[in-house]
Amino acid sequence: MKLLTKAIENKFAKTGDLSQTPIDDITVICKWFNPCGSHTWYVYERLDDDIFMAFVTDGNPMFAECGTVSLAELQSVTLPFGMSIERDINFEPRPLREIIDTIKAGGHV
């Protein structure tokens, strides 16, 4: 499965640089996840061809945080049974604040 489709690329192109944008005004564009583990990346900004900004959780809300993620690195991950990092095809863009609050409260998105 492609983690980055043309439609998603177009959404990132429209958002541009969010470094000075208040967190309440940022929208998460897509969700990538490990189907064999607990890591999930809620991606909201493209910094360059490979690096993205995301809110990342490993299943423990105490350790969830915003940071960078490499698309190439995620695409190179080899999981059991021939699986790979996946994109949630049913994910609809949501405010970053809503996702952070839900995850930090122990909920799921």
Q: Give CA separation, 49 vs 32, 37, 68, 92, in Å.
A: 17, 26, 13, 23
Position 13 scores a pLDDT of: 95
CB-based contacts of 75: which residues, under 8 Å, 6+ apart?
3, 84, 85
What is the rounded average pLDDT of the residues 15-30?
96
Please report the sign of the dihedral spanned by the C-alpha atoms of residue 59, residue 37, residue 76, residue 93. negative
Residue 26 reports pLDDT greater than 90? yes
What tens digit of pLDDT does each residue of 43-93 get? Answer: 999 999 999 999 999 999 999 999 999 999 999 999 999 999 999 999 999
**Alpha-carbon 14 to chain mean position:** 17
Label the pairing between strands 86-87 and 65-70: unpaired
Per-domain boundaries in the chain: 6-14+27-104
- Please list the alpha-helical segments (H only) found in 1-95: 6-15, 71-76
Whether pLDDT at 1 is above 90: no
pTM of the model: 0.96
What values do phi and psi take at 16, rounded to 5? 65, -155
Q: How confident is the model at residue 5 (pLDDT cuts 50, 70, 90)?
A: very high
Sign of the torsion angle spanned by Cα atoms 49, 50, 51, 56? positive
